[in-house]
Amino acid sequence: MIVRGGSVVTARGVMEADIAIAGDRITDVGQNLGGDGEEIDATGFHIFPGGIDSHVHFNEPGRTEWEDIAHGSAALAAGGYTTFIDMPLNSLPVTTTAEAFDLKVDAARRSSRVDFGFWGGVVPGNLDQLEGLVERGVMGFKAFMCPSGIDEFPACDERTLREAMKRIADLDSILLVHAEDSAMLMEPKGPTARDFLESRPWQAELSAVHDAIEWAQEARCRLHIVHVSTLASAAFIHAHRESGADVTGETCPHYLLYGADDLERLGGLGKCAPPFRDKAALLPTLYGGLQMVVSDHSPSTLDLKQGDDFRKIWGGISGCQSTRQLLLSDRRLELPLVAALTATNVAKRFGLERKGDIAPGFDADLWIVDLKPDGVVRREDLLYRNPFSVHEGQKIRGRTVKTLVRGREPGQGQFIRPEK
Ligand code: ZN
């Protein structure tokens, strides 16, 4: 098959080229490629490497009334994504044992429309499970440095976390942390959004990032900080990375689009942890400070996102369908940077050697998109199990023409595991 005449966007740049595909893989990228197979006319369109969302909560099995793999993966495909890596919570059971991991893989094999991998969980008491999870193909591990919001997935104390780092280093895997320092979080003083914001100061994130990097360096453990919300944390990660620490960080569209002052207006739909801070501060971090932008799609039913008491509202944002189109609507972000932040850098960091780029030998994961139309996120377009999002009304750019997963229409996703 040949995808002909489009503008191919990679982290290296944009070029007019045809893409030849045989089976699952890209075999050639160049001008005027020959061949007599099926052709897709991409004239006037752009072609990105299929997106990789390494931070979603699809909640299957166990909490599928919040989100399931069929709906979540269809939403991703609609937004230009061909791979997801699912978090070890908020499914039931949580992915802290090899048996729970098998349940996830089985569920995704049945219903994922795109390729899929899984993070395992580190919680007090499960360190003897880490090796078995690595053998099964876990992408790495996630731990919380503060309460996660659900009882089945408790936070790691310092001792557990440091011991886990040693074991994960020995297993040549990677640790992801939710970095907020429990000791610096407070009970909200009252029911308002402002009370919630004040209960989670930015210093709590910086303090936890500091500890996590120090401990990981001592254990020689690869470290990734999820959903960074402040410039201070991003700068701290960057400085340590520059001086040789094996640490990366991600942020999410909601930290780029909204600040603390927006939360009252947005209400419960905008509740997440860490909370929105200073939207203006984070854009520069995408030019090297942080390596990826992911959705942290963490949905629930609508009733859990509403109510007068902010303390009782579920903390999580629904957004995985819109990540790329939201980024593209910010004309300051050049196309190759968007490809890097949403695919190439993710694949490189997490050891997906055949994904994240458009070049011979890579999986034919492609997003063919018409970048001319501008629009907004509309509820009726969302494919989530619970179709609502804090992003409704936000500007997006582009219309998905076609998403190809290993050369085919989204349909039967495959299990992926780190290759190095
Ligand atoms: Zn999350």
Dist. CA 52–CA 81, nearest whole Å = 6
pLDDT tens digit string along 228-246? 999 999 999 999 999 999 9
Ligand 1 mean position, distance from CA 55 (Å): 6
- pLDDT for 165 beyond 90: yes
190: domain range?
Answer: 52-355+372-396
Ligand 1 mean position, distance from CA 175 (Å): 14
Total structural domains in the chain? 1
Ligand 1 mean position, distance from CA 264 (Å): 22
Residue at 37 is within a domain = no
> Region 68-97: what's the mean pLDDT?
97
Residue at 6 is within a domain = no
Contacts made by residues 279-285, CB under 8 angstroms, sequence distance 24+: 279/255, 281/230, 281/231, 282/228, 282/229, 282/230, 282/231, 282/234, 282/251, 282/255, 282/256, 283/256, 283/330, 283/332, 283/333, 284/231, 285/228, 285/231, 285/234, 285/235, 285/238, 285/251
Residue at 119 is within a domain = yes
pLDDT value of position 420: 65
Ligand 1 mean position, distance from CA 315 (Å): 10
Given a contact cutoff of 8 angstroms between Cβ atoms, the answer to whether 321 and 78 are in contact is yes
Phi, psi angle pair for 32, to nearest 5°:
55, 50
Ligand 1 mean position, distance from CA 150 (Å): 12
Instruction: State the CATH number of the domain containing residue 149.
Output: 3.20.20.140
What is the three-class DSSP state of 402? strand
> Region 37-58: what's the mean pLDDT?
97
Ligand 1 mean position, distance from CA 357 (Å): 25
pLDDT tens digit string along 246-255? 999 999 999 9
pLDDT tens digit string along 300-356? 999 999 999 999 999 999 999 999 999 999 999 999 999 999 999 999 999 999 999
Residue at 298 is within a domain = yes
pTM: 0.98
Residue at 57 is within a domain = yes
Within a 10 A sphere around the Cβ of 284, how many other Cβ atoms? 14
